[in-house]
Structure 1
Amino acid sequence: MSFAFLHTEGTNNKNKNAVIINNFLRQPGWNNINDVELIMYWGKNYELKDLFIKPVTLYNCDNCIRQATIFLECSYVHDLNLMILSLNKFQEHCTYLLISGDDSAHNCKVTLLTKIIEIVPMAKYMKGAFYAIEKYHTIPLNTQKRTRFILSNLLTNIQENETLFSTLRTSSDSIKDALKTIVNTLFEWRYELHEDKSFCILKNLIFNLLWNLWYMEFDTLRYQGKYQELFIFLSDKIRNLILNTFTKKYIELGFKYESSTSQTFLPTLPLTNVKQDIAQNSSKNYIQNTNEVHAQEEIQQNETKEDIKQESNNFIIHKNTFIY
């Protein structure tokens, strides 16, 4: 990870910053960073527990900040990987519907694009979280021209693609062309994520197991007579992935979002005084940021449900697994 951390840490931080970082590391959300085996920093391997062995002081504050940033970045790598793999499965299903001549291919495309757009606010919060932590470092990464955050390229690209996907969602152009654009974009995202994964040692992501569990749940619902299109089912699953990441690794880490400046801040008071307000304010802001895409999806799903047949005999699910 030398390209991201070229500078030396010979300057001591300030006591007030050490207090803030110490409070930050006491947030309950750190218990949710359980998908990172270890990180590599300054030629050494660190487990998450190493971050909490000693209290934060002005002498080790910069080191704690950088480790905390890397652990959170790597955990976000894990979550984004899961989201992108899920979107790939979603795209495969839409492509199958199109090839088979199913009338619901258009609705599948629109719902898929809605899910992709819902990731954009998450990308903004992720980048804001990194900036909020690094703000207290004597040499913040975001102020350096020759260094970058893990995920910085991917998160930037996700945000820059928002207009493209919004246009595709409302366009009446070819479904095939839209799906081709989605395939190419997801491929680029996966490539960038693969580069970022090389800087973390993650616990095994057993996506195929998760997919099989989703399929079993979907099949059980159909057996119980609760019929719905697979893409609506997948839409709910992906939304849960996004909201789960936001709740466990943003709200419960104590991050505060200021809507007037679109900036994220660390809690500056002890945990017991701000935990409830942080959760309430952060949830409110996230919901405001995703209101439009949720409204569009609800309209689309209602239109789709009207066309669903009681039993889709020609409905086939691809069970081919990915190898990444």
Structure 2
Amino acid sequence: MFSLKFVKFSFLLFYVILYTKADTTSIKAIDQLDKILKYPGWKNLNDVHFIKYYDINHYLQNQIQTPTKFYKCGQKIRVLTIYLGCTYAKVMVNLFTVINNVLINGSIYIEELINIIAILIVPIATFMKSAMDALDLLHNKPWATFKKNYKYHYMISPLLERIGNILDKLNDPGILYNYRSTKFCTFDIVNIFSKSIINDLQYETEPFCEFVLYDKNELWNKWIQEYNAIINQGVKLIFFTFLTIKIKDYIKTVTIEKYFQLGFKFDPITGETFVPTREELIELELEFKAIDQEPPTSIQIENH
């Protein structure tokens, strides 16, 4: 009798501990979500009209204005992760459309173009993936652990990782050997990669993202008009120099508005992004005030 009661008590204790642990984790996630959504950057995200999740349309404003309920926490994490993925996808489509247009126009600055990808686009892609991962990890079943054939797989994040690994492809001896007889081997690799990324981003976002109507060439066309206006004033300016400045400014703006102003915290020691706790949010606010709304940690750019 004693043994049976002991076994029953052990099972009961196990489930109490298990429930308490799950409950505590959910409460922490709820607190983190509600606090991070107070940051103004979320209200300023205007690239996506709504996202679709389980055939239901979800609007960002509703997520911001509605306090997180215990039973809705998991769904809210999914929805916000998809919103972030859609937003970041548009940024990458904009950037690689610019790269693609430079290539189409017969760029002779292929090495400079690779440097732009290496020192500007790769770091921002890594930042974006880390922000998505930070949200995803709040869920008790992160998408990152799911199989690829799952209906709602971890959209966009693997593509951001692929962008971050482009330098490995360019430095792969096997690839370079296969193109050795081709004069513009590096040109071809970058050209194929850019087109592939644009197509894959559009394919992955189609089931989830209802974008505010936009032209993927919008950024490129705007910059061309600005450059022509400068040249027409008699100013001598190499186009690629102008383009490099515009890409730097664009990425800086994206990093501030779509990363730091969303409340994400970057740990320069580990190189990881995480969703802050209440105490860390207070610290982050102080950092913003100290630097007059600039991000507390900037992307490190090395000169090659």
Pick the TM interval, shorter chain.
0.7 to 0.9
Per-residue CA deviation, residues 91-120 of structure 1 (Å, 9 max, x unaligned), is: 223x2x5xxxxxxx2xx1122111111211
Of 59, 62, 66, 2:71 maps to: 59
Provide the C-alpha distance between the structure 2 equivalents of 1:39 and 1:261, rounded to a whole number of angstroms: 32
Provide the C-alpha distance between the structure 1 equivalents of 2:203 and 2:29, rounded to a whole number of angstroms: 32
Provide the C-alpha distance between the structure 2 equivalents of 1:136 and 1:282, rounded to a whole number of angstroms: 26
Tell me the CA shift for residue 266 of structure 1.
Answer: 0.8
Structure showing greater Rg: 2
| Equivalent residue, structure 1, for 2:274 | 265
CA contact (8 A) 2:33 2:68 kept: yes
Of 124, 130, 133, 1:131 maps to: 133
Tell me the CA shift for residue 133 of structure 1.
Answer: 1.0
**Does 1:180 pair with 2:181?**
no
**Does 1:75 pair with 2:80?**
no
CA contact (8 A) 1:33 1:71 kept: no
Provide the C-alpha distance between the structure 2 equivalents of 1:164 and 1:189, rounded to a whole number of angstroms: 14
Per-residue CA deviation, residues 187-238 of structure 1 (Å, 9 max, x unaligned), is: 2212211211212111122244443332221112112222122122122222
User: What is the number of equivalent residue pairs in this alignment?
Assistant: 267
Residue aligned with 1:155, SS: helix
Name the aligned partner's letter for residue 163 of structure 2.
I
| Equivalent residue, structure 1, for 2:48 | 36
TM-score (norm 1): 0.74
Provide the C-alpha distance between the structure 1 equivalents of 2:221 and 2:128, rounded to a whole number of angstroms: 29
Of 267, 275, 279, 2:285 maps to: 275
Per-residue CA deviation, residues 8-59 of structure 1 (Å, 9 max, x unaligned), is: xxx8762222111100111111023100011001221112112124211322
CA contact (8 A) 1:27 1:252 kept: yes
Residue aligned with 1:132, SS: helix
Residue aligned with 2:258, SS: helix
Tell me the CA shift for residue 153 of structure 1.
Answer: 2.8
Name the aligned partner's letter for residue 159 of structure 2.
L
- Structure 1 residues 167 and 228, CA gap change in structure 2 (3 angstroms): farther
Provide the C-alpha distance between the structure 2 equivalents of 1:35 and 1:213, rounded to a whole number of angstroms: 17
CA contact (8 A) 1:109 1:175 kept: no
| Equivalent residue, structure 2, for 1:159 | 164
Provide the C-alpha distance between the structure 2 equivalents of 1:278 and 1:89, rounded to a whole number of angstroms: 36
| Equivalent residue, structure 2, for 1:227 | 236
- Structure 1 residues 76 and 254, CA gap change in structure 2 (3 angstroms): same
Residue aligned with 2:276, SS: coil
TM-score (norm 2): 0.79
Residue aligned with 1:257, SS: strand
| Equivalent residue, structure 2, for 1:217 | 226
Of 205, 210, 229, 1:197 maps to: 205
| Equivalent residue, structure 2, for 1:3 | none
- Structure 1 residues 18 and 284, CA gap change in structure 2 (3 angstroms): closer
Per-residue CA deviation, residues 283-315 of structure 1 (Å, 9 max, x unaligned), is: 454332xx21xx33xxxxxxxxxxxxxxxxxxx
- Structure 1 residues 260 and 154, CA gap change in structure 2 (3 angstroms): same
Provide the C-alpha distance between the structure 2 equivalents of 1:26 and 1:268, rounded to a whole number of angstroms: 13
Per-residue CA deviation, residues 262-290 of structure 1 (Å, 9 max, x unaligned), is: 211112127555224268699454332xx
| Equivalent residue, structure 1, for 2:145 | 143
Residue aligned with 2:185, SS: helix
Matches within 5 A, 1:104-123: 105=108, 108-117=109-118, 118-123=120-125
Provide the C-alpha distance between the structure 1 equivalents of 2:171 and 2:236, rounded to a whole number of angstroms: 29
Unaligned 5+ segments in structure 2 are 1-21, 174-179
Percent sequence identity over aligned pairs: 28
CA contact (8 A) 1:18 1:57 kept: yes
| Equivalent residue, structure 2, for 1:256 | 265
Provide the C-alpha distance between the structure 2 equivalents of 1:53 and 1:184, rounded to a whole number of angstroms: 43
Matches within 5 A, 1:14-25: 14-25=26-37
Provide the C-alpha distance between the structure 1 equivalents of 2:286 and 2:101, rounded to a whole number of angstroms: 37
| Equivalent residue, structure 2, for 1:87 | 99
- Structure 1 residues 260 and 274, CA gap change in structure 2 (3 angstroms): closer
